[in-house]
Amino acid sequence: MRKDIKEEISDQIIRKAKEFGASSAGIASVEALKESPSHLIYGRMGEYRAVGSGEGPTGLGKVAWPGNAKCAIVIAVLHPQANPELDWWKTGYFGGTRGNRMLLSTNSQLSHWLEEKKRVRTIELSYHIEHGGIFLKDAAVMAGLGCIGKNNLLVTPEFGPRVRLRAMVTDEVLPCTGPIEFDPCEECSAPCMAACPKEAFRKKIYSEDDFGLDQLPGRTGVFSKQLCHEQMRVDEDRPENVEVDGELEPGKWISYCRRCELACPVGR
Ligand code: B12
Ligand code: SF4
Ligand code: SF4
């Protein structure tokens, strides 16, 4: 495909993603992503099973990139503080959360559009790494959506960390849209870290010497996923019987902790 036509396609993809419901979108190179910090550190962090994940076809410790994957298209959907129900999770509910349903629908519409109108083959990716997913925050940073904040989350200029992500890969090389120059954390006193009920950012647990890189979880190696995970278990033990507009299904919804996300002033 000619270069100018490709560049036009990148713009069109982002416009279409927004038309289909994304708050922002971008494109990253798979080759570059395979060298991103999460790829370099993941297999060395020790075995660990997160909430909702576990055994999967890929196994723990690695990403299974589809053979011919050249680019990852990442979409972000805003989860504003005013609409907490987008993030509430329920067993048996298709997509788990309302927000994830929006992401699935947007991703799928964009994938069909690319296949039918642009003849670009796509694969919509799973959420969990061990089920064929990719590191969505790394992909979003490389696609120009924002940076990794001190809260260990993707922080976007427009919405702060209050977004959820999803991705697909293409078998076509497309012009990438990132990374961007953006770092709101440098001068910030980090209310995100102070907000954690489990003090998951209290002390350094990963070092440059041990892992051979300085782009560590929580930026300086302080983020403890184990402590965060403990909070998730606490949240699961107290599901709430709340009514969600437009939902007929009865049942209890889990509201997972978002304190480090909601404390960030960026994009409020
Ligand atoms: C497993 C998982 C968890 C686990 C473990 C988290 C972890 N960090 O390991 C638990 C259950 C604890 C968890 C908690 C949460 N999660 Co979670 N989680 C995931 C999941 C499925 C995989 C993440 C993973 O395994 N990463 C692997 C390790 C190696 O990376 P990491 O610790 O995230 O840190 C890496 C990055 O920070 C990166 N990095 C650091 N510096 C730099 C610099 C550059 C340039 C780049 C490119 C990368 C980079 O490399 C690090 C290694 O150093 C992703 C979805 C996905 N497929 O990506 C969602 C995801 C990361 N979670 C998300 C969210 C929102 C949460 C929670 C707020 C809970 C909630 N209410 O949803 C908390 C926040 C915790 C926190 N402060 O980080 C969102 C993040 C959105 C955002 N704005 O960033 C994601 C993307 C899911 C989604 N629906 O969009 N999560
Ligand atoms: S609260 Fe401050 S330090 Fe934390 S992520 Fe937001 S800008 Fe960065
Ligand atoms: S999601 Fe909650 S428990 Fe996990 S790191 Fe953020 S504030 Fe701490």
35-75, pLDDT tens digit by residue? 999 999 998 887 655 555 556 656 556 899 998 999 999 99
**At residue 3, does pLDDT exceed 80?**
no
Pocket-testing residue among 155, 203, 254, 257, ligand 3, by greatest number of atoms within 8 A of Cβ: 257
Lowest mean pLDDT among 11-20, 149-158, 244-253: 244-253
What is the residue with the minimal CA distance to atom 6 of ligand 3?
A: 260
Query: Does residue 228 have its Cβ closer than 6 Å to ligand 1?
Result: yes
| pLDDT at residue 92, as a whole number | 84
Q: Does ligand 1 have an atom closer than 6 angstroms to the CB of 156?
A: no
This prediction's pTM:
0.95
Q: For position 184, what pLDDT does the model report?
A: 98
For residue 155, which atom of ligand 2 is closest to its CA?
5
Q: What residues flank ligand 2, with Cβ below 6 Å?
A: 149-151, 155, 184-185, 188, 190-192, 263-264, 266
Query: Region 143-161: what's the mean pLDDT?
Result: 98
Q: pLDDT at position 236, please?
A: 95
Ligand lying closest to the C-alpha of residue 268: 2
For residue 229, how far is its CA from the centre of ligand 1 (angstroms)? 11
Cα 53 to the chain's mean position, in Å?
15
111 phi, psi to nearest 5 deg = -60, -45
* End-to-end CA separation in angstroms for the chain: 41
